[in-house]
């Protein structure tokens, strides 16, 4: 029997790569729902190919335009609530949350509430609301399988380990981004065009910029804290420029287990969708003899302070990670529009954090209100 898949954010980087994976395994998967914000041209192509029963379009004007395209089969849901409506559908085996930003929080919670398995590619959900999501998942039995290459690697390295007390620490690897060897003076003049050229990975604009500042790795530290039930003191970041080892787990007996593969997001996507099974991949194997040396470095938080800001937000807890996330979304957008410099990104985020008094144990409404306030403050 085919697994029934829903993809929230099917026209983005992760969504399109997921559909590539599904097309390669059409005998294993069936697409039941696809969503986009506004890229209805690509969505129309996807609908023709995969023939889902449901389509969600969060932009109302684009939804009206799509309805005039003549599609008769999929039920078209529109507006921002379309994501949660699709997340609540009963005939879904696994839902891939691949939307960008805080918009992933509410549909993820709805998927958890209805007991679905979730392939989670949206970082902001666990950064801003990790305590809410994971507590709810424990109650409903919803399984959250990470799609991020680093968390997917840790998830795989932890296979057979059901006791966090056996774990000494985990290592999240980072390529270091395109500016790993830039000094602080050179970083002042980095352009958005330069920052969008990641040396190893094919990703969306937001996550590519976050990778260049190391904020992406900071978000991953917070995500790992919730996914694997570990304090941030047991979550280490190491720079690994080759992006071959995606993460490592060190156990209390001194053993370290690492997950290695080519730097291709289709592999962790395939693993998340096929879990607990493994399906054959077209990506190809590593040539261990040809790949050369694997090196590791300590991250330079003086040149890239965003990583420390994330650790600080995680330690403070409460609503502070939501502030970190909202501030980052706004300042990255400003950087992409050439309104601020690369070096101003961490400065503005730190200012937003310093102006906020964290609220402990926030509920969903509180998190979303803090998110709106921070955005308003920085706009």
Q: What is the second-level CATH architecture of the domain 152-378?
A: Orthogonal Bundle (1.10)
Nearest-angstrom CA–CA distance, 220 and 372:
22
Q: What pLDDT shows up at residue 202?
A: 67
Query: Which residues is 237 bridged to in the sheet?
Result: 172
Other Cβ atoms within 10 Å of 341 Cβ, number: 15
Domain 3-146, CATH number (from 3.30.420.10, 2.170.190.11, 3.40.50.720, 3.40.50.300) = 3.40.50.720
- Paired tokens of 48: 């023709």
Give the model confidence (pLDDT) of 298-336 as tens digits. Answer: 999 999 999 999 999 999 999 999 999 999 999 999 999
Q: Give the residue extent of every domain in the chain.
A: 3-146, 152-378
Query: pTM (2 decimals)?
Result: 0.94
Handedness of CA 368, 374, 377, 379 (dihedral sign): negative
DSSP letter, residue 164:
G
Nearest-angstrom CA–CA distance, 198 and 212:
8
pLDDT tens, the chain, 379 aa long: 899 999 999 999 999 999 999 999 999 999 999 999 999 999 999 999 999 999 999 999 999 999 888 777 899 999 989 999 999 999 899 999 999 889 999 999 999 999 999 999 999 999 999 999 999 999 999 999 999 999 999 999 999 898 889 999 999 999 998 899 999 999 999 999 999 987 776 677 888 999 999 999 999 999 999 999 999 999 999 999 999 999 999 999 999 999 999 999 999 999 999 999 999 998 888 988 888 899 999 999 999 999 999 999 999 999 999 999 999 999 999 999 999 999 999 999 999 999 999 999 999 999 999 999 999 999 8
* Nearest in space to 205 (alpha carbons), one of 214, 215, 193, 217: 193
Q: What Å distances lie between residue 353 and 71, 100, 335, 378, CA to CA?
A: 47, 21, 19, 12
- The residues near 268 (Cβ < 8 Å, ≥ 6 apart) are 146, 147, 148, 149, 152, 153, 246
DSSP H helical ranges for the chain:
13-24, 40-50, 60-67, 82-87, 105-113, 123-140, 149-157, 184-187, 192-195, 205-213, 215-227, 266-274, 306-316, 320-336, 344-354, 364-378
Q: What pLDDT shows up at residue 110?
A: 97
Query: Which residues is 7 bridged to in the sheet?
Result: 34, 96
Give the model confidence (pLDDT) of 118-175 as tens digits. Answer: 999 999 999 999 999 999 999 999 999 999 999 999 999 999 898 889 999 999 999 9
Determine the length of the chain. 379
């Amino acid at each position: 029997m085919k697994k029934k898949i829903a993809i929230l954010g099917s026209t983005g980087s992760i969504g399109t790569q997921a559909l590539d994976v599904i097309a390669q395994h059409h005998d294993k998967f069936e697409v039941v729902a696809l969503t986009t914000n506004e890229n209805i041209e690509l969505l129309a192509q996807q609908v023709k190919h995969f023939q889902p029963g449901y389509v969600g379009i969060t932009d109302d004007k684009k939804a009206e335009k799509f309805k005039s395209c003549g599609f008769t089969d999929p039920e078209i849901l529109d507006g921002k609530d379309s994501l949660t409506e699709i997340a609540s559908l009963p005939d879904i085996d696994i839902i891939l949350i691949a939307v960008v930003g805080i918009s992933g929080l509410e549909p993820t919670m709805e998927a958890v509430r209805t007991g679905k398995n979730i392939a989670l590619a949206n970082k902001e959900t666990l950064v801003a609301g990790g305590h809410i999501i994971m507590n709810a998942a424990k109650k409903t039995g919803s399984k959250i399988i990470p799609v991020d290459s680093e968390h997917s690697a840790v998830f795989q390295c932890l296979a057979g380990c059901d006791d966090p007390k056996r774990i000494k620490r985990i290592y999240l690897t980072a390529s270091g981004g395109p500016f790993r060897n830039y000094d602080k003076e050179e970083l002042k003049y980095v352009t958005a065009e330069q920052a969008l050229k990641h040396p190893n990975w094919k990703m969306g604009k937001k996550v590519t910029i976050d990778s260049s500042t190391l904020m992406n790795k900071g978000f991953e530290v917070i995500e790992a804290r919730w996914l694997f039930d570990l304090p941030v003191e047991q979550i280490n970041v190491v720079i690994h420029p080759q992006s071959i080892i995606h993460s490592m787990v060190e156990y209390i007996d001194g053993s370290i287990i690492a997950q290695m593969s080519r730097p291709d997001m289709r592999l962790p996507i395939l693993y998340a969708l096929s879990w607990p099974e493994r399906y054959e991949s077209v990506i190809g194997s590593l040539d261990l003899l040809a790949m050369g040396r694997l090196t590791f470095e300590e991250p330079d938080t003086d040149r890239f302070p965003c990583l420390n800001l994330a650790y600080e937000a995680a330690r403070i807890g409460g609503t502070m990670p939501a502030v970190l996330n909202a501030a980052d979304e706004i300042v990255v957008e400003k950087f992409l529009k050439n309104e601020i410099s690369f070096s101003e990104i961490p400065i503005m985020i730190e200012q937003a954090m310093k102006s906020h008094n964290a609220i402990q144990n926030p509920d969903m409404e509180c998190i979303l209100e803090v998110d709106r306030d921070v955005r308003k403050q920085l706009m």
